[in-house]
A and B are shown apart, each in its own frame.
Chain A
Amino acid sequence: NAGVTQTPKFRILKIGQSMTLQCTQDMNHNYMYWYRQDPGMGLKLIYYSVGAGITDKGEVPNGYNVSRSTTEDFPLRLELAAPSQTSVYFCASSDTGATEAFFGQGTRLTVV
Chain B
Amino acid sequence: KQEVTQIPAALSVPEGENLVLNCSFTDSAIYNLQWFRQDPGKGLTSLLLIQSSQREQTSGRLNASLDKSSGRSTLYIAASQPGDSATYLCAGATMYSGGGADGLTFGKGTHLIIQP
Contact = CB atoms under 8 A, between A and B. Distances in A.
A108 B108 CA distance: 18
Contacts of B101: 96-98
Contacts of B102: 45, 48, 56, 58, 97
B100 A50 contact: yes
Interface residues of B, number: 26
B54 to A, nearest CB: 12
A97 B108 CA distance: 21
Q: Which of B32, B43, B49 has the most CB of A within 10 A?
A: B43
Interface in B27-86: 31-32, 34, 36, 41-46, 49, 51
A98 B106 contact: no
Interface of B is mostly: strand
Contact of A103 (B32, B43, B51): B43
A40 to B, nearest CB: 7
A75 interface: no
Contacts of B49: 99-100
Contact of B31 (A43, A97, A104): A97
Interface in A21-45: 33, 35, 40-45
Interface of A: 33, 35, 40-45, 48, 50, 56, 58, 90, 92, 96-106, 108
Interface of B: 4, 31-32, 34, 36, 41-46, 49, 51, 89, 91, 93, 100-109
